[in-house]
Structure 1
């Protein structure tokens, strides 16, 4: 079957425009029986062409008759050669069931982006990235997402297969508990931006958990791109030693956000751009589901990775993503520039976190990791610690760090805290560090910039002290850096080994 390129334009409320194609129809079960299809299958193929400038989403309605046991979809698209510096074709895929395609609606049944060319859904099971459940009669929608389109346009082919027969039973999902054994109030290590085969990762959930334990993590968060299918995929993999939180990497065309620790099974929509003024609504939905809103890799250089929504709706920001690169450096400088607004407590400040964003080998789970001071190893306690800024970031579990400031009369404050002192009262800033290897240096950063730097011993361990006042430094935070790879010829600092959130010095 050949469908014309552009059939009718629909405007989803609050979302970028979408094209809706003519529906694909199939014979009902009785007709299929008369035609000899019976318990066999029916297949339809749709082809078409999308020009450059196509809307973000193309919906292909599929009229599913009663008596369908399993639905299968496969697709392909061409990849013509393009001039240097020009984006080629990339097209994602997903599906919504008979409950509709409304933004945030209940019809979502899965999204694999560009990671898969085919998937199946039945009551008993579904391809990773998709949700098992009944294949009910009604209008389903296959969704194409032409992420980038070559100058020649994008030719696509979608094949839908319906397999008739008796519906099976959908297993009740088993979700991870919200508590692990823990050590009471302590520093807990975690990685909350991770991928498996349930989106574009290569590790299975079991392999991811094994890597997390090898990295000596206390908690992880499963954050697949635009799907919740992994939430029920960790059954039996948690334990007293490992807390597994559920979440999602909400992957829009204008940036990605980690929805950390949302309630299991809660789907957060991604079908909007910054110009649609819709992100605040979905940030609230993340919080209503018990999650934190954490913009991911704000200056990432992949298409659609740059964060365009602003930070007013964020609970924290991912300043260090995976292997330390220049985009992390830019993000940290941007984040640091916002801290002065919170110097006198006039505005809420945004804590920094770091995650590995690990998808496959050799990407290392837990590089980096966020170390959080929490009252216990529970979802709520970990989130409260991050929200309060009681956190620092390390390249591995080998790194140990203690950072505090102390004034007179025994007063002191730790990471994320505030110390109230007289403007000219001497304050001692103290960092204890170990496990970072040779050729590292410690830097103390304030609202004026970097005010103190010193080298660590070759052992990668040491204690560094610096004296200042609240009138001289409104806040102070610590960075531990490796030596620059170019020996400092470029003038750029070396990669990060560890960094803290600030401690604020408030004048009495």
Structure 2
């Protein structure tokens, strides 16, 4: 049985505020079985809804669906028009997801899945769901299909949503099994990881098995699951972990004002994304990330894609993703911005924010582990890796071939490594040493709060070399290292092959 409904262009007076996000709720979609008619087991009912969203539409438009008793599966398909637009004008892009009968309250329990614009249909039932969606019974009540008009063309965004209910026994939902929080490590050692990855559970094209295989091939010891606005992958990673690969879970919280990687949260944690910087809600969800054991990592903060540029400030950040995927100009801007924040923190006596790098790999040929963050941790466990990242005991390398050692020594046998402090008097001579492996033809250099302070010659064909710099804490508050490829454009530094977090010099004030 099929019935069409048409939703007229929205009246701006129809807007209301839910939590802090402007949203619109459309008229409800009803099914015949909801009026007391009992559908036979295995029977189906379908409704199709059409409408047009205007330019300036709210971030989220909810389509209520009255789900009657006896439904075993909910299936949703949608399409929308993508007319040609003039150069420089944004066209139509419409995301989709769903909330169950527990409601759409911001941060509530009703979330059942999100695919953004990655797929045109999805289903949910007790024992299974489309990747990006959470299996579970289709209980009676008001469900809401969430439409997210990411961008709207000048003539509006015509859409069509088709909802199909299948009737039958409710089924049983398997108990989720999550990956272990420990792998077979090497004790206190340097471990390589990539904490920003996508699979078929959001807009990636690799299966979880393919992601895990690519991680192993890239020489990684750990990864973090970070799908856009969903935790659906969490319960599917366990079979891909092993003694050689620690798999942590999280989410890429993808707001309209920037993305943040929730890194290493408790399995099953959902972090809401339906707010902008002006809504003053980010702090609440940053705290939730930390309360569930994770780190708050603003992702690609200076990326130029629509909605990617970070607008929430860095007051809640635990780590900053200063290098995302193949090195590009926006990574250079992100690195410079992070360095400026580092300078301001040491001069202002404030806590500093470490940097990291991740691949953000979605599909072939995106290289998993390019770049990767190398962390000094007490063991290969979730807790130890997160602690190493939080403390800045880490550096970033373009691949498993590149390895760095950065130390500072001075005084009576004192020495310190990356993320540590060499506690010496201001005028005590200090020697900063960088050892590099796996970077043939690249140029090593030291950077401090005074800028670039020492640059070495290009490394030989072996890719190995050592760079020394002598200074004092009165001159430099810290030293960090960069290893760069030859410049590709006049007047600009070459792309990074690796960089480190700083070694701090002098006694803490």
For the criterion TM > 0.5, the same-fold answer is yes
Aligned to 1:444: 446
Aligned to 1:322: 325
Corresponding residue to 2:33 among 19, 28, 36: 28
Output one character per residue of 1:304-327: Cα deviation in whole Å (capped at 9) or x when no partner.
000000000010000000000000
Aligned to 1:110: 113
Does the aligned pair in 2 maintain the 1:29–1:67 contact within 8 Å? no
Does the aligned pair in 2 maintain the 1:29–1:164 contact within 8 Å? no
Question: Which secondary structure state, in structure 2, belongs to the residue aligned with residue 483 of structure 1?
Answer: coil
Give the TM-score normalised by the residue count of structure 2.
0.97
Does the aligned pair in 2 maintain the 1:343–1:506 contact within 8 Å? no
Distance 1:345 1:501 in 2: 18
Pair 29,340 (structure 1): closer, same or farther in 2 beyond 3 Å? closer
Question: Which secondary structure state, in structure 2, belongs to the residue aligned with residue 412 of structure 1?
Answer: strand
Distance 1:507 1:373 in 2: 23
| TM-aligned CA deviation for residue 408 of structure 1 | 1.9
Distance 1:14 1:288 in 2: 22
Distance 1:108 1:423 in 2: 55
Question: Which secondary structure state, in structure 1, belongs to the residue aligned with residue 7 of structure 2?
Answer: coil
Does the aligned pair in 2 maintain the 1:344–1:506 contact within 8 Å? no
Pair 38,507 (structure 1): closer, same or farther in 2 beyond 3 Å? closer
Kindly tell me the number of residue pairs found equivalent between the two proteins.
Answer: 501
2:15 counterpart of 1:9: yes
2:504 counterpart of 1:504: yes
| TM-aligned CA deviation for residue 14 of structure 1 | 2.1
Structure 2: tracts of 5 or more residues without a match: none
Does the aligned pair in 1 maintain the 2:180–2:238 contact within 8 Å? no
Give the TM-score normalised by the residue count of structure 1.
0.97
Aligned to 1:494: 494
Corresponding residue to 1:162 among 160, 165, 172: 165
Output one character per residue of 1:368-402: Cα deviation in whole Å (capped at 9) or x when no partner.
00000111111111011011010000001111111
2:197 counterpart of 1:204: no
Question: Which secondary structure state, in structure 2, belongs to the residue aligned with residue 409 of structure 1?
Answer: coil
Note the 1:74-153 alignment, pairs <5 A: 74-153=77-156
Note the 1:267-282 alignment, pairs <5 A: 267-282=270-285
| TM-aligned CA deviation for residue 260 of structure 1 | 0.2
2:385 counterpart of 1:388: no
| TM-aligned CA deviation for residue 421 of structure 1 | 1.6
2:365 counterpart of 1:367: no
Does the aligned pair in 1 maintain the 2:437–2:463 contact within 8 Å? yes
Structure 1: tracts of 5 or more residues without a match: none
Pair 11,5 (structure 1): closer, same or farther in 2 beyond 3 Å? same
Aligned to 1:340: 343
| TM-aligned CA deviation for residue 485 of structure 1 | 2.0
Output one character per residue of 1:80-129: Cα deviation in whole Å (capped at 9) or x when no partner.
11110111000000000000100110000000000000000000100000
Question: Which secondary structure state, in structure 2, belongs to the residue aligned with residue 220 of structure 1?
Answer: strand
Aligned to 1:453: 455
Does the aligned pair in 2 maintain the 1:29–1:38 contact within 8 Å? no
Distance 1:145 1:271 in 2: 10
2:469 counterpart of 1:463: no
2:363 counterpart of 1:357: no
| TM-aligned CA deviation for residue 346 of structure 1 | 1.9
Give the alignment's Cα RMSD to 1 decimal.
Answer: 1.2
